[in-house]
Chain A
Amino acid sequence: MDTSIKKVLVLGSGALKIGQAGEFDYSGSQALKALREEGIETVLINPNIATVQTSEGVADKVYFLPVTPFFVEKIIAREKPDGILLSFGGQTALNCGVELYRSGVLDKYGVKVLGTPVKTIIDTEDREEFAARMEEIGVKIIRSCAVSSVDEAAAAAAELGYPVILRAAYALGGLGSGFCDNEQQLRSLAEKSFSYSPQVLVEKSLKGWKEIEFEVMRDSYDNCIAVCNMENFDPLGIHTGESIVVAPCQTLDNHDINLLRELAIKIVRHVGIVGECNVQYAYDPGSDDYRVIELNARLSRSSALASKATGYPLAFVAAKLGLGYGLHELKNSVTKTTPAFFEPAIDYIVCKIPRWDLGKFHGVSRKIGSSMKSVGEVMAIGRSFEEALQKGLRMIGQGAHGFVGNKELEVDDVDEALREPTDKRIFVLAKALQQGYTIDQIYELTKIDRWFLHKCRNMVDTLAELQKYSSIEAVPFETLKLAKCQGFSDHQIARALYKDAPGIEARQDEVRTRRKELGIVPYVKQIDTLAAEFPAQTNYLYLTYNGCKHDIEFSGDGRSVIVLGSGAYRIGSSVEFDWCSVNALQTIRNLGWRGVMINYNPETVSTDYDICDRLYFDELSFERVMDIYELEMPHGVIVSVGGQIPNNLALRLHNHQVRILGTSAENIDRAEDRNKFSSIVDALGIDQPKWKELTSLSEIHSFVEEVGYPVLVRPSYVLSGAAMNVCYSDDDLERFLAMAAEVSQSHPVVVSEFMQRCKEIEFDAVADGGNILAYAISEHIEFAGVHSGDATIVYPAQKIYVETMRVIKRVARKIAAALEITGPFNIQFLAKENFVKVIECNLRASRSFPFVSKVSKINLIELATRAMMGEHPAPVSKDEFDFDYVGIKASQFSFTRLLQADPVLGVDMASTGEVGCLGDNFDDALLKSIVSVGYAIPQKGILISSGDALQKASLLDACRLLAAKGFKIYATGGTQRYLTDNGVFCTRALWPSEVEQDPSLAGKFSAALDLLENKQIDLVINIPKNYTHVELTNGYRIRRAAVDFNVPLITNARLATAFVRAFCSMGIDSVSIKTAEEFYQGR
């Protein structure tokens, strides 16, 4: 290894967003661990405060600062590292590293790039360079030929081979484009194409080709291994992040696999990777023809998946290779005896399934394709494809019981739904099979390999077989066994047998009892990287019915504690619960117990087998948790650190004699159940917004008459779109209910008073036996109405009356005592002038736990875990919470990925990630956090549309400040008049509708959309009048254009004001560059 490297800078990936999520916390954490093991000092830059990698003890120094060349250069100047790692923080870190290299910063400070050289990174990122490199070694890539005549087109097609796709260049909407199977078709289409455009692109059509990935490692001695290969269930055309993926490949034979493996290694050697690399192929289903799609010269989502799929720690090993080690000089961290130079032999199949949250967005298309929209993923492990797929479909947590036996899916046109994939296609597949579509018909429509389709049909057949019986006693042993081997859950079997009969949970218990009597139970198997060829002490486990023996023994000594993890990342539950889970496990282990983790999210650190004594990479379902509980016989189960999934299981587990540690399951239920909680709050004399559960439109109207508009409406049965909405008028209300929800006796709607212009306050705390041990009070910058997961949060709260604080503490103490809380909890309050109301209480860790823990340097999860373990820790002294710096948490949105979605914030959460930065004061912290989520300080022009009268007034001060600082302000109609009337100079910009209705205006004023397109605007402040827009409006078009042209957009007047104040009062150059530890010294 290179011994000159003593100090290394690691670039993190920042906030989680679509396409770049928790997998980089995992890879970065692994890299830091690898460096630490070598005694190298590590410096980490990552504003993502909820990550494990930014926790104490992972890196030596942490900067909660944006991963941009500007900030990284400042840190390099300050820290003078010997080396830098660019490939562990996703595209963000890679791009930043390339810029630092190009601008000469790395050279200037003598910082060595460890691992793959920057030149190689550039070669692989640039399409032209990459094409040239591949041509040098005769590797085929996807190319298009530009032609300008029909004959040229025919010649190009002959060379590429049919079928080809023609695309008319510069033609909007795909005019003149299409597929051609032969020369005749090509000539006729090309004639048309040339009528639209002088230039036509001819490309080989790879429609229906398979998509295959290889994860390759190479060391500085030129040794290469292909750690894992993976196959997409969905054919080419669907982004690999949007596709169901299996590992290893299922439909390729020895020739196919070794052809692609050999090519991957050839490519990796030629471009000069040192470390880890992902190679993606398109592969012909009818021959051994291939094309290289792309190469990622860095750790990726696929590499995280491959690590979890094989047990081979790619990121850890890649970091060591960056230091100059050879693969043969490192150990296989699972067997600990064999070397890291080997290729894992898998004796199971894994199935990755994406998790979408498209229902959370207005206007977004549900079609999936070449760009990524999913927000998370799950990985399921089984010893049959059916078992893995059904587990996985339950894991994604969107109400599916498996592949079959789900709630009937409404599909207008099955053919079309198969041909045009959406996030629901897998279930359309089940429907089609049940309707009698043949495998060939489905293949023609989907191009999903027939092997997968045959396997899918097996499950349809098994369901039909089960449905022949009407009680569990009647089902033959072999049928029940087969169903379990194919991954049917007890619940799914109960539904098949008892149809829609009431009391399904009790029926599920009957199925469970019966199959246990028959000896049909799951077995625990290890993931050991070598298919049992060598003994391995691995604690990385899964359960399967395709087995007859456990790989491990169960001591039954009651010295283990099971922690339930958080499942798939989704909007509202993400890396923060991973941090909570990891910290709970660490505390359990530090207290001398064995920590057992159950989770199935491959993007997490909690599913790293180093983190716990046993990792069950399996379902967080009642059935599976019971299976594991009965085998482990632990001291108890912790349900309060993994978000809502484990929380929801608490009562049912408790009813089956599972010992829940911390707050009792009954009390969790009293907080979760709206009615129960409401009566507790009333009994304690605590104020709450008025609400009612209503079953008819007339009831709703009379309630609204009582409380007045606006109201918050939460249907229990959502037809489409968002799960809740704020309604400002009768019109709003009726439209929302008609379009989105069903109101009936069986599907009541909860309507609550919606308080406007209130502060929202978060109370995160830990209690023991009902006494509060520690708490953190933080406030939202935005007024209530923006979901707490989207709001910008300040901790410690800066602008709350002392009186309000006092009331909040008093109320929280009462609630903690009444619910006898032991463990973490969170209460949300509304505050306005002299009243405080409770809106929600969760007896679990909240999203903000890592944020407040890291700002205060008081680990609330550690404290909560100690309380739950019965340690009765002492309360934290109040002085500990007295510090002279500020933490601000800002949200990351991924609207650019969600075509057509209205980028507006409301009561439903829309952000995909967050950052948290520390600052010497409010402005310092705010600027850092806002820049960390992709905003820049405007230099050119600001476009303002400021909403209704109240909002206009509240933005006025900020506008004055901007004008005084000399910023160029553009404003739309009413805003322009209002600002001008109030003495703020601004230029009128036209609404899209003004341009359309009166073209003569165009000569006098600039159109807002043109300003955006021409890059004359670098900040848009667009305040919607209310939260009910669904139709295309002027505001929507401007907001969407801002997102599409990548111009920073703020839609909240309070946040806009705070941001404007911050950048007007201090420049970006004067923000403080300090490590977390340096801030902590001010405590």
Chain B
Amino acid sequence: MTNYKKASLILENGTVFSGYAFGASRPASGETVFSTAMVGYTETLTDPSFQGQILCVTYPLIGNYGVPKQERDADGTLRAFESEAIHVRALVIGDLSFDFSHWSAAMSLDEWLRRENIPGIWGVDTRALTQMLRDSGSMLGQIVMEGDEPTSELDDPNTRNLIEEVSCKQPIRYREGAGKKVVVIDCGIKHNIIRCLLATGVELIRVPWDYDFNADPTMRDWDGLFISNGPGNPDFCGATVEHIRESMAFGKPIFGICMGNQLLAKAAGAKTYKLKYGHRGHNQPVRMIGTDRCFITSQNHGFAVDDATLGSDWEPWFVNLNDGTNEGIRHKSKPFFSVQFHPEASSGPLDTQYLFKKFVSML
């Protein structure tokens, strides 16, 4: 019973957190980040915004409800998953439930990670690790199986265009002719965003991150533009920013989420910067500026928009109540707006899902 294989997480500052291996028995490296979400590991692990990251979950008991069967809905999106594959490099947790219990579960978390070839470590003091990441900032790290040598070549996902890795390669159309036409720039879109948009009765054209949809005669007549979430540094997306800027000239509604907020801000001339350790969790409080309306939001981002650099036509829309960082921007006169948090949730609270309706009602 106590013959678990050992493994450790070694951070770039040399700190070693030891635990036991689960999932795939192989090394991995990436940027180590933490999330304070207490549920939703299937959604989180498949969220493309985690591309290249080793994820530490602060809630210690993970795997309790197993992993559901992969089922597709009529539009081809996966229920309970946010993309086709796990995007985190490795998972670091406190206590793993080898035995799971949920009516919808098809396998254990351990088995899923093995199938997806993703390593995990359990038995780690994730609170101590989180404190270190909080105090020193997100840092690179690697997972090393017992008996293996650590590598000196850590993968730094921030040095390359992660969005390119997770974006679709060809345009994908959903419900052609269903209603108003929305172009979705896929920077690593979560399936639930697609579901939330489709639920409003629109037609979607999902395009790769750098696709020039304004030059495509089959898309040029779009009614609204949506910019998705995505991983990493927005500075790699010059092409996308250019396309957004061109699109603004039409004055049609534009809505962005997470990376979409950062890219819209850049298109508006603002700057972004890297947060020390980012916002990842389900309990991020935001306030709509100028009102007493507050929302609990789901978040997952490492970069933020610098409010001070917004042009005079723009204004901050939402603010994070914990640290005062930007949580959304909007144009003062035109229907352009975006949020840093995730109104589609999945995982997380549903307080701000009304924003999808708001966007579509403007088309």
Contacts and interface: CB of A to CB of B under 8 A. Distances in A.
A285 interface: yes
B294 interface: yes
Given A250-B64, A338-B321, A532 B134 contact: yes
A225 B38 CA distance: 16
A525 B294 contact: no
Interface string B291-312: 0111010000000000000000
Contacts of A222: 293
Interface string B80-93: 10000000000000
A252 B102 CA distance: 8
Contact of A258 (B94, B123, B125, B348): B348
Contacts of A345: 36-38, 58-59, 281-283
B117 interface: no
B100 interface: yes
B9 to A, nearest CB: 12
B287 to A, nearest CB: 6
Contacts of A285: 103
B168 interface: no
B127 A344 contact: no
A221 B39 contact: no
B95 interface: yes
Contact of A465 (B1, B97, B123): B1
Interface in A432-470: 439, 449-451, 454-455, 461-462, 465
A251 interface: yes
* Interface size grouping (class) on chain A: 35 or more
B65 A251 contact: yes
Interface stretch (A73-81, A547-555, A627-635, A1038-1046): A547-555
B338 interface: no
Contacts of B347: 254, 258
B33 to A, nearest CB: 12
A451 B322 CA distance: 35
Interface stretch (A272-280, A475-483, A587-595): A475-483
Contacts of B65: 251-253, 451
Contact of B283 (A221, A344, A546): A344
Contacts of B58: 345, 347, 531-533
A531 B293 contact: no
Nearest to A525: B127
A213 to B, nearest CB: 15
A478 B5 CA distance: 12
Interface residues of B, number: 57
Interface string A343-380: 11111110000000000000000000000000000000
A412 B64 CA distance: 34
Contact of B39 (A223, A257, A476, A551): A257
A328 interface: yes
A124 to B, nearest CB: 23
B331 to A, nearest CB: 25
A482 to B, nearest CB: 6
Nearest to A339: B321
B286 to A, nearest CB: 9
Nearest to A476: B2
Given A258-B348, A326-B292, A342-B296, A534 B101 contact: no
Given A254-B346, A342-B285, A531 B127 contact: yes
A1008 B123 CA distance: 66
Contacts of A745: none
A248 B38 contact: yes
A320 to B, nearest CB: 15
Nearest to A327: B294
A965 interface: no
Interface in A282-333: 285-287, 326-328
A533 B1 contact: no
A254 B285 contact: no
Contacts of B1: 461-462, 465, 479, 482
A261 interface: yes
Interface string B31-52: 0001011111011000000000
B130 interface: yes
Contacts of B322: 338-339, 342, 534
A108 interface: no
Nearest to A461: B1
Contact of B103 (A287, A461, A533): A287
Contacts of B131: 532, 549, 551
A217 to B, nearest CB: 11
B60 interface: yes
Nearest to A249: B39
Interface string A238-255: 000000000011111111
Nearest to B104: A253
A708 B42 CA distance: 75
Interface in B93-139: 94-95, 97, 99-104, 123, 125-128, 130-131, 134-135
Contacts of A341: 285, 287, 294, 296, 321
A462 B2 CA distance: 9
B64 A343 contact: no
Nearest to B6: A478
A253 B94 contact: no
Contacts of B287: 328, 341
A533 B64 contact: no
A344 B36 CA distance: 10
Interface string B42-84: 1100000000000000111100110010000000000010000
A225 B43 CA distance: 22
B174 interface: no
A462 B1 CA distance: 8
A384 interface: yes
B202 interface: no
A333 to B, nearest CB: 15
B61 A384 contact: yes
B360 interface: no
A254 B67 CA distance: 11
Contact of B101 (A249, A385, A451): A451
B95 A328 contact: no
A39 interface: no
B39 A254 contact: yes
A221 B99 contact: no
A568 interface: no
A525 B158 CA distance: 33
A108 B295 CA distance: 39
A384 B61 CA distance: 7
A714 interface: no
Nearest to B97: A451
A262 interface: yes
Nearest to B95: A384
A449 B38 contact: no
A251 B105 CA distance: 11
A195 to B, nearest CB: 38
B19 to A, nearest CB: 10
A247 to B, nearest CB: 10
Nearest to B278: A533
Nearest to A486: B95
Contact of A546 (B4, B94, B103, B292): B94
B187 interface: no
B343 to A, nearest CB: 13
B349 interface: yes
Interface string A260-275: 0110010000000000
Given A258-B345, A262-B349, 4 more contacts: A465-B2, A530-B36, A530-B283, A546-B125
Interface of B: 1-2, 4, 17, 34, 36-40, 42-43, 58-61, 64-65, 68, 80, 94-95, 97, 99-104, 123, 125-128, 130-131, 134-135, 281-285, 287, 292-294, 296, 321-322, 345-351
6 contacts: A248-B39, A254-B39, A345-B283, A347-B36, A530-B36, A533-B134
Q: Which 4 A-B pairs have the closest CB atoms?
A: A254-B40, A454-B99, A451-B101, A345-B36
